[in-house]
Amino acid sequence: MREQCALIGVLNDHPALANRQVRDALLKGLVDLYAGGTASVDTQTGAYCLVAMHGATAADPAQPATVQASVGTQQSTLSLPVGAPRARWSVPQAPAPGDMLALAQAPGQRAWLGYVADLGYHEDATHARASAVGLSLERRYDVLREGRWQATGPHPVQEGDWIRVTLVVQTASPRHFVALTDDVPGGLRPTDLALSAVAGLDLKQVSSTGSGVFGTRRLDPRAPKFYAEYLPAGRHEVHYFARVANAGDYLAAPATAELMYGNASHARTASDRFPVVPSPSP
């Protein structure tokens, strides 16, 4: 991509080196790369391409543009006057399955146009599935019993129990600026176990927060967040702790892992159910 942008820049400065068709083909290919043909763009490549596109824009006279847009049977004509940055069309009805977006420029127009499609949808969080691109994420719950953490297993979680939530992120390559966000089930109250008075506990044995690479922690009551400036390749565990406050059958929506800058890598867990039974009567 960097080489293509550099070549476009050369042709902008020296148009006699190639005809108009070659330059147009390179520009169209660059649009395809920006539209998803490359996973990410580093700073130096972005600078090359910015200079190339600026030169291409300066070389062509400004002209208005008209585009016919359609999704299935829904149609609209978009007009973009000279100097206007964008035109917008909101599809009035949800497209039918299989409907395709089609954009057709008016005959004889040579304006370079790009488009962004914002897709909105609703997902039933109770049936959300795990996904992974570039890294993976898992979540598990342990309960504090007899001074140690045990898998919840066949023994039901009760009101008043301590829960350890573990997020396990794995990556084959190093990543920079990674954020983990969990969704806390309704009956849990995140808290700092090391600052809590729990009789008979060796806090050093049970209050480890896991990998030190996630050095910044935000223990939000509904969506705890953990940040790593640099995540080495391998397997990393992060723990946080919560107290069970109320009985009930709660939804644990997916936890997510994502890059703070860019979207080349992201992952999420599946949704879970977190049942809590009332504490036994004294």
Q: Could you report the per-residue pLDDT of 49-87, keeping only the tens digit for each?
A: 878 777 765 455 566 788 888 998 898 988 888 777 788
Contact 50, 41 (CB under 8 A): no
Phi and psi based region of residue 149 (left: phi greater than 0; alpha: psi -120 to 50; beta: remaining): beta
Q: What is the pLDDT of residue 176?
A: 94
Contact 114, 32 (CB under 8 A): no
Contact 239, 211 (CB under 8 A): no
**Distance in angstroms (rounded) separating the CA atoms of residues 87 and 184:** 41
pLDDT band at 110, cuts 50/70/90? low
CB atoms within 10 A of CB 35: 11
Give CA separation, 244 vs 143, 149, 248, in Å: 10, 15, 10
Q: What is the pLDDT of residue 7?
A: 83
Contact 90, 116 (CB under 8 A): no
Structure token digits, residue 211: 């990998």
Contact 262, 187 (CB under 8 A): no
Across residues 163-175, what is the average pLDDT? 95
Across residues 131-142, what is the average pLDDT? 95
Contact 237, 166 (CB under 8 A): yes
Q: What is the pLDDT of residue 49?
A: 80
Across residues 152-181, what is the average pLDDT? 93
* Residue 136, amino acid: S
**Distance in angstroms (rounded) separating the CA atoms of residues 49 and 270:** 39
Q: Who's near 243: CB < 8 A, 6+ residues apart?
A: 160, 161, 162, 163, 188, 189, 191, 196
**Distance in angstroms (rounded) separating the CA atoms of residues 261 and 228:** 12
User: How many Å separate Cα 57 from the centre of its chain?
Assistant: 32
Across residues 173-189, what is the average pLDDT? 95
Look at residue 202 and tell me whether its pLDDT is greater than 70.
no
**Distance in angstroms (rounded) separating the CA atoms of residues 237 and 281:** 36
DSSP for residue 193: G
**Distance in angstroms (rounded) separating the CA atoms of residues 218 and 228:** 12
